[in-house]
Structure 1
Amino acid sequence: MQTNNESKQNQKKEMLLGTFLTIVGGILWGISGVCGQFLFQNKEVTAAWLVPIRLVTAGLLLLCYYFFKDKGKTFDIWKTKRNRTDIIVYGLAGMMLCQYSYFQTIEWSNAGTATVIQYLGPALIVVWVCFRTKRLPQKKEVLGVFLAVTGIFLIATHGNPTSLALSQKALAMGLLSAVSVVVYTIKPARLQAQFPTPLVLAWGMLIGGAVLMAVFRPWDYQVIFDRETFAAVAFIIFFGTMAGFSLYLTGVKMIGSVKASLVSCVEPVASMVLTAVWMKVSFTTPDLIGTLFVIATIIILAIPTKKRQK
């Protein structure tokens, strides 16, 4: 029987491990996004080609791993109607929409900007939770949402409401990616309580990727496929997808979605730094201020209050 001290130590270890996994997952995502921008700018790759291949390949590899590890449990997720509905909704409205809209935003703008816009997601999660639980937002939540909206406004307009610094389609797709983050974060919670996180990811990736394959037919595209292309695509699949998503969602499961959102804000920082250094993209002062506002949103929302609410 565990003592209170042993229990607290185990909780602390789990919190530290969950935090570490979330940080690593966020960094891998940031690098993956910049790899995507490299492919878009230099190898005639498009999001319609990259995302289906990324999701289907990663999904199949993860499923093969589980099939050989424990054949009997690989298909258990399809045994009940509720689970079938959840995994299909997650695969389409969460995984597929999240990945396609994110990489399409990168193609139409850059990795740093696309990542920061996507991090409007935590503020939207707060709005959804307040709506779902029928409660008024706390003061810090109001402040967080205000900062997030202001940050996106600065990035999109550079402070001039009469003009857009981004194209309309890039801004619209970026906002769609932020909305899809809400589904991606919340929807798999019930499935994660029953099945290993990588298995849930595998089915979500395969479902979303298969639909995109049928819609975009990536085999019809002509891309420059050389060593650099192979290396970038391999990194996106193995590290940015399989490892990144598994680590992040495992971290969410261990430390909670709010704290995971806080520590994963390393992703937009890593993405912007890499975008500036590797892709030579210049960010303006409004871009940087807007980014700080979005990151401040995540930090504010993760600060515990004396009276916690579910």
Structure 2
Amino acid sequence: MRSGTVTGLWFALLSAASFGVSGPFAKSLLEIGWSPGAAVGVRIGGAALVLAVPVIIGLRGRWGTLRRNGLTLIIYGATAIALCQFFYFSAVQRMSVGVSLLLEYLAPVLIVGWLWVRSRRAPSRLTVSGSAAAMLGLLLVLDLTGDQRLDPVGVLFGLGAAVCLAVFFVMSAKADDDLPPLIMAGGGMMVGALTILVLGLVGVMPFAFTFQDVTLAGRQAHWLVPVLVLVIIATVLAYFTGILAARGLGSKVASFVGLTEVMFAVLASWLILRELPSAIQLLGGALIVGGVILVRIDELRRMPDAADPLDQPNVVEPVPTTGAG
């Protein structure tokens, strides 16, 4: 296995682990009265502030990069960052973190279907088998046989998050090397923060804050604790490493490795909410890993000239006439 692929896998796992803690920590804020818009606004706005200085330094003498990639940053920031997090947190407000993640992580299946439509070439048996194994693993990890009640509006929010997550993986993989990962992440955060501010001012994404202690791991903690975790770990680190992973692995493989976010979220829920994973959830985790391996084996078996040009790492589609691609 190439060193670049190994590095991409590590970045993908780190990104998944970082994203995985967002649900439990955001839930602690929602439980004390924060609105989803407020949680997303603080998360994305704080990340934009953290990344502002590095982005400005990185753009010295390269301001034309913003002009050439302006549309990419606008679509990425508004869709893959702002709306994705708003839909997910809105789903978490109405349903459990697990069910919300199940719906959001239909994104890999959407990507397989998207690449199928764009290339007019059906996915191989290995990819289909990997997809099926990963989805079955998700069902087992989330243990939906328990007392889970689906909220129709929450389901719609979860599906909206899935579409936005698919956009994140596809755009991250296809971005030009002229747009470095740090610039893409920081620029996207700034666009996302502006999007959330506008939606909040017009009342689409209302803001509601309360400044009181939250409950984490059965103990009281200052409300700034989950805010800092959401900004630094679940946003800045998660998106930056996610872009690096998608560029190294391609959107399809990166999205399937991203399924491990569910396992990390279950682990985070165990540590933060005292919820112990069951044996069936551990079995589901093994199926997810198996599905990822099958998809990766399929990628390695395909010759470079036969591979899908729309899903190759660090390759840009020649005529990006559809914006996000």
Bucket of the pairwise TM-score, normalised by the shorter protein:
0.7 to 0.9
Output the aligned Cα RMSD: 3.2
Residue 150 (structure 1) shift:
6.1
Residue 178 (structure 1) shift:
1.3
1:148–1:293 contact (8 Å) kept in structure 2: yes
Residue 271 (structure 1) shift:
0.4
Matches for 1:162-173 after TM superposition, within 5 Å: 165-173=149-157
Quick check: 1:143 aligned with 2:129?
A: yes
Deviations 1:91-112 (A, max 9, x none): 2222222221122222222323
In the alignment, the residues of structure 1 paired with residue 174 and residue 131 of structure 2 have an alpha-carbon distance, to the nearest angstrom, of 26
1:156–1:166 contact (8 Å) kept in structure 2: no
Quick check: 1:96 aligned with 2:82?
A: yes
Tell me which residue corresponds to 1:57: 46
1:33–1:271 contact (8 Å) kept in structure 2: yes
1:19–1:255 contact (8 Å) kept in structure 2: yes
Quick check: 1:302 aligned with 2:292?
A: no
Percent sequence identity over aligned pairs: 20
Summarize the Cα distance change of 1:248–1:276 in structure 2 as closer, same or farther, 3 Å threshold. same
In the alignment, the residues of structure 1 paired with residue 155 and residue 141 of structure 2 have an alpha-carbon distance, to the nearest angstrom, of 10
Letter of the 2:226 counterpart: A
Matches for 1:1-310 after TM superposition, within 5 Å: 11-12=2-3, 14-41=4-31, 43-73=32-62, 75-80=63-68, 83-146=69-132, 158=144, 165-217=149-201, 221-226=208-213, 228-280=222-274, 297-304=291-298, 306-308=301-303, 309-310=307-308
Residue 225 (structure 1) shift:
4.3
Residue 53 (structure 1) shift:
1.9
In the alignment, the residues of structure 1 paired with residue 44 and residue 190 of structure 2 have an alpha-carbon distance, to the nearest angstrom, of 6
- Higher mean Cα deviation, 59-68 or 166-175? 59-68
Which TM-score applies when normalising by structure 2? 0.77
Unaligned runs of 5+ in 2: 214-220, 309-325
Letter of the 2:9 counterpart: T
Unaligned runs of 5+ in 1: 1-7
SS class of match (2:21): helix
Which structure dedicates a bigger proportion of its chain to helix? 1
In the alignment, the residues of structure 1 paired with residue 224 and residue 77 of structure 2 have an alpha-carbon distance, to the nearest angstrom, of 26
2:8–2:246 contact (8 Å) kept in structure 1: yes
Tell me which residue corresponds to 2:316: none
Which TM-score applies when normalising by structure 1? 0.80
